Amino acid sequence: MRKSFRAGAVAMLAAATMLAAGCSGGSTTGSQSAATSDPNQKVELTYWAWAPNLEKVVELWNEKNPTIHVTVNKQDGGDPAVTKLLTAVKAGSGAPDLIQAEYQKIPTLVAADALADLSGTVANETKSHFPDGVWNDVTLGGDALYSVPQDTGPMVFYYRADIFEKLGITVPKTWEEYAAAAKTVHAADPEAYLGTFSSNDAGWFTGMAQQAGASWWGVDGDAWNVKIAEEPTDKVAGFWGGLVEEGVIDNKPMYTPEWNTALNTGKQVGWLSAAWGPGVLEGNAGATAGMWKVAPMPQWDASKPSTGNWGGSSTAVTSQSKNLDAAAKFATWLNTDPEAVKALVKEAGIYPADTAGAESSLTEAPAFFSNQPDFYKVVGEAAQNVGSFTYGPNVNVAYNAYNDQFAKAAQSKQKSAFLDAVSNMQQVTVDDLKKTGFTVK
């Protein structure tokens, strides 16, 4: 019998997919509970993760919890760790007790029966610590709990305050005002842009679609549905396609030597990014320290503030762990205990998903933004306005389709091509779900 997850339709989809793939597995819930029934028994937990200096944070736990020892096994980022875990799950052994799981990868791991349900553990009591949109990411909108949120990436708008002042530009509160500001910047200097449309950053585009109200996957009974090619995403694609076609926004990818140089020389005057942006700006445009400020994302409806999320991860317990309760206890401590959250901020440089932890740990602006003492107040308010967004089990396919389709659209500089790219993303994603055995409505 397949392991039972309590997410209703998602559970049935997971089981159906595994059966379609010719896989089977035994329920581990019983063995997990039995293994943690003796509170005096020494437990050894392994934790696959890639956040920097995480072992220093875990040392705090180990010092205070001699009966539950955690060893961090450093991994090479999100995708390699997920692939490694899926291989272990298929083999029936070799998985760690815990894994750092990016939010967009959770549905894939659930569908592969790789994660334990934490809803019956102490981890389920952490809901009040996190914004609703983040909690949705780890529950998939159901009753099961697949992970404890760790960090998040609420999106905000970074801009060169000195150039805005020089050109008399007011910080845009709406996307209409953003478009007007983009025209002003480019008219003043034909080599300067307020931003760029980046066709190789699917997570960036996903966050903007999320802000507009999109949720690209959903569960309908015993089937998935895909809602990429709908009004919210079309609106975002059409907006950026129109700016690129007009020539007032750049069409080159981010994170290139060319982009870095433009940040340093004032040719890239703004950047729609996430809470972790200061580290990138400091590393790539160090000469501009003190010249930037942060503001909320421009809004589609200023009376209903919203933002998207770009990045972030969580701490999940794998289905092979024989120490469910102990692992859940550690995951809860790591991401909600005030001392642990402060250590995560200091050692790993994250933006905590825990609302109170972020507020108490981030009391001073990053050094790069020393000119803006309320930096984290702005980011914290944005974090509370992140809407719910449901990821699907083939997010990698959709993201690859984004890279392929929007690279062509950006190159063409045609608004119609941007809209076509959304339709093509939809088709590729649906076709892949069907090909891999999912029912799609």
Q: With helix as H, strand as E and coil as C, how does 402-422 read? A: HHHHHHHHHHHCCHHHHHHHH
pTM (2 decimals)?
Answer: 0.89
Quick one: tokens of 418? 């941007």
Please report, rounded to a whole number, the percentage of residues in the chain having pLDDT higher than 70: 91
Burial (0-12, 13-18, 19+ Cβ within 10 Å), 2:
middle
Closest CA to 56 of 336, 348, 311, 308: 348
Q: Are 204 and 272 in contact (CB under 8 A)?
A: yes
pLDDT of residue 21: 41
186 vs 173: CA distance, rounded Å: 19
pLDDT of residue 38: 60
Strands 68-74 and 43-49: parallel
Helix runs in 267-323, H state only: 277-284
pLDDT of residue 340: 98
84 vs 89: CA distance, rounded Å: 9
Task: Output Rg (C-alpha) for the chain, integer angstroms.
Answer: 22
**Residue ranges of E strands in 253-408:** 270-274, 292-296, 309-317
Torsions phi, psi for 174 (to 5 deg): -130, 165
432 vs 367: CA distance, rounded Å: 45
74 vs 368: CA distance, rounded Å: 29
Give just the sign of the alpha carbon dihedral 294, 299, 305, 307: negative
Mean pLDDT split into 10-residue runs, the chain, 441 residues: 36 42 38 51 95 96 97 90 95 97 95 97 97 93 95 97 98 98 98 97 97 94 94 98 98 95 97 96 94 98 95 97 98 98 94 96 94 96 93 96 98 98 98 95 90
Q: For 228-253, what is each residue's pLDDT tens digit?
A: 999 999 999 999 999 999 999 999 99
pLDDT of residue 39: 61
pLDDT of residue 27: 37
92 vs 320: CA distance, rounded Å: 8
Closest CA to 294 of 383, 178, 379, 353: 379
